[in-house]
Amino acid sequence: MKTTGLFQLSAVLALCLPVACWSQVNSGSDGHDGAFNPTTNTVVNMADHPNGIYHYTSVNIPAGVTVTFIPNTNNTPVVWLVQSSCVIDGTINLNGSPVGGPAGQAGGPGGGAGGQAGNPPLQGRGLGGGGVDSLSSTKVGGNASFGTLAESFENQHPSGSVYGNSFLLPLLGGSGGGGGVYNGCGSNGNGGGGGGGAILIAASDTVTINGSILANGGGVQPPPAEWCSELGGGGGSGGGVRIVATHVTGIGSITVLGGFGGRFTDHGYYLRPRAGGGRIRIDGFDITFNGSSGGEVSTGYQPIILQTNGQGAQLSITSVGGVPVSPAPTGVIATPDAVVSAQQAAPFPIAVHCANLALNTRITVSVRPANGATVSATGLNSTGTLASSTATVLINIPRGGGLIYATAATSN
């Protein structure tokens, strides 16, 4: 019988980019969303901004005010482009939802959802989602990773992989924890926690953070003693926070911590293994921020605020096993971006288009299946020019396919 494989596609690029000698940030805001000055706790419904980009004249979140979000249908990160200054004395909350019930929990805007509980459970969404080992039905959900690798203890499904880069280009959120497995406690177990969301705040003048920006992953809540191994959703990884401004200051906090996953012992669940932390990037000419942070932090000045077609180095997967891929892949398993016959001889050729990338840069293609370990292979973009080149990477794709992504690293 002829079988097919289902593939989800994504391209993630790790770069080291040169610093431009500018003296003033231009956020690119046209100000059409006006000033954002909430005076009470505010929920921002992103439905009317399908790309997640807001053009503000100024932003002022006073102490005692918390801003949360309802993600849009595209689940984009939050992008605030600010003409003048942004003052955060209150709280911006992009946390992923905590473990609770069999459903995989939602991530913050731009973050991946947790996996559904069951037997077998589902892995977490996102490039670093908590994994599922189909060979065992007694393990708890795997923790997700992002900027750092998640912890993984015995009786737990495998952790997700580290992904992204220190510049947060592209802007990425955290990933969801893997679903837990029913193990005789009278229900279907708990799904995984949601990944922390992602936000970019770019201001032409000053960003002041005396309050807090939260993009933590959702995890298992402190359990009562009678809880048992069914409650084993994995923790979601921390999200991404990028600040770009001429001046960045304040004494507040930015946290992108991973959520805790459940761990089964003879005495029930404890908050032991933690999902991976997210990424924080601060770009500015005058950085005097002296607050606290949790997660992978880097600072400097990288001039690209929003990547556009043709700007900076870019990767895209164009075909799998000779099957063309849509130029706008969805990365959703229900609507696969490529369907390839399983009778095609291995290894499968993966064509990766590279833009503005030096020839003979090493390109790594990885396949993350629904079950089992990630498989990777490398090749070189040896055909074409600096502006447009192609790498063909041969890889043995696991049966059933999975999420396929390409990465490159360069010091140019």
The count of C-alpha atoms lying within 13 angstroms of the C-alpha of 292, restricted to the half-sphere facing its C-beta, is 7
> Is there a single domain that holds both residue 275 and residue 355?
no
> Is there a single domain that holds both residue 238 and residue 385?
no
Question: Among 275, 306, 337, which residue terminates a domain?
Answer: 306
> Is there a single domain that holds both residue 299 and residue 326?
no
d(CA 393, CA 337): 18
Buried b / exposed e over 85-108, threshold 16 CB at 10 Å, is bbbbbbbbbbbbbbbbebbbbbbb
Q: Which of 1, 4, 6 is nearest to 368 (CA)?
A: 6
> What global pTM score does this model have?
0.75
Across residues 239-259, what is the average pLDDT?
A: 95
Of 84-93, 233-242, 252-261, 395-404, the least confident: 395-404
> Is there a single domain that holds both residue 356 and residue 400?
yes
Q: Which of 66, 398, 78, 384 is nearest to 240 (CA)?
A: 78
> Is there a single domain that holds both residue 248 and residue 333?
no
pLDDT at 322: 86
Across residues 277-300, what is the average pLDDT?
A: 90
Contact 223, 268 (CB under 8 A): yes
User: What's the chain's average pLDDT?
Assistant: 82
Q: Does the N-terminal peptide bond of residue 120 adopt cis geometry, omega within 30 degrees of 0? A: yes
> Is there a single domain that holds both residue 324 and residue 255?
no
The band of 375, judged by pLDDT with boundaries at 50, 70 and 90, is confident
Across residues 129-150, what is the average pLDDT?
A: 80
pLDDT at 308: 67
What is the residue-wise DSSP string for 266-281? Answer: TTEEEEEEEPPP-EEE
Please check the confidence at residue 64 and state whether its pLDDT lies above 50. yes
Name the DSSP letter for residue 111.
Answer: P
Name the DSSP letter for residue 156.
Answer: B
Q: Tens digits of per-residue pLDDT, 22-45?
A: 468 899 999 999 999 999 999 999
Please check the confidence at residue 309 and state whether its pLDDT lies above 80. no
The band of 345, judged by pLDDT with boundaries at 50, 70 and 90, is confident
Of 305-319, 342-356, 398-412, the least confident: 398-412
d(CA 236, CA 240): 13
pLDDT at 5: 37
Residue of higher predicted confidence among 95 and 121: 95
> Is there a single domain that holds both residue 100 and residue 179?
yes
Give me the sheet containing 362-369, strands edge to edge: 338-341, 4-11, 401-408, 362-369, 375-380
Task: Please give the residue range of the domain that contains residue 183.
Answer: 19-306
> Is there a single domain that holds both residue 42 and residue 119?
yes
Across residues 51-76, what is the average pLDDT?
A: 96
In sequence order, what E strands does 231-374 have? 240-249, 253-255, 260-265, 268-274, 279-287, 292-294, 296-300, 314-320, 323-324, 338-341, 348-355, 362-369
Of 189-203, 228-242, 282-296, 331-345, the least confident: 331-345
Please check the confidence at residue 299 and state whether its pLDDT lies above 80. yes
Please check the confidence at residue 178 and state whether its pLDDT lies above 70. yes
Q: Tens digits of per-residue pLDDT, 7-23?
A: 333 443 333 333 334 46
Kind and range of the H or E run holding 42 = strand 42-45
The pair of three-digit structure tokens given for residue 23, joined into one six-digit string: 């003296």
Q: How many domains does the chain have?
A: 2
pLDDT at 197: 97
> Is there a single domain that holds both residue 295 and residue 318?
no
Across residues 174-179, what is the average pLDDT?
A: 92
> Is there a single domain that holds both residue 246 and residue 324?
no
> Is there a single domain that holds both residue 107 and residue 253?
yes
The band of 222, judged by pLDDT with boundaries at 50, 70 and 90, is low
Across residues 310-315, what is the average pLDDT?
A: 68
Among the residues of 232-359, which ranges form H helices? none
Across residues 158-170, what is the average pLDDT?
A: 86
Question: Among 306, 327, 343, which residue terminates a domain?
Answer: 306
Please check the confidence at residue 104 and state whether its pLDDT lies above 90. no
Kind and range of the H or E run holding 22 = none
Name the DSSP letter for residue 292.
Answer: E
Question: Among 243, 273, 306, which residue terminates a domain?
Answer: 306
> Is there a single domain that holds both residue 291 and residue 209?
yes
pLDDT at 76: 94
The band of 335, judged by pLDDT with boundaries at 50, 70 and 90, is low
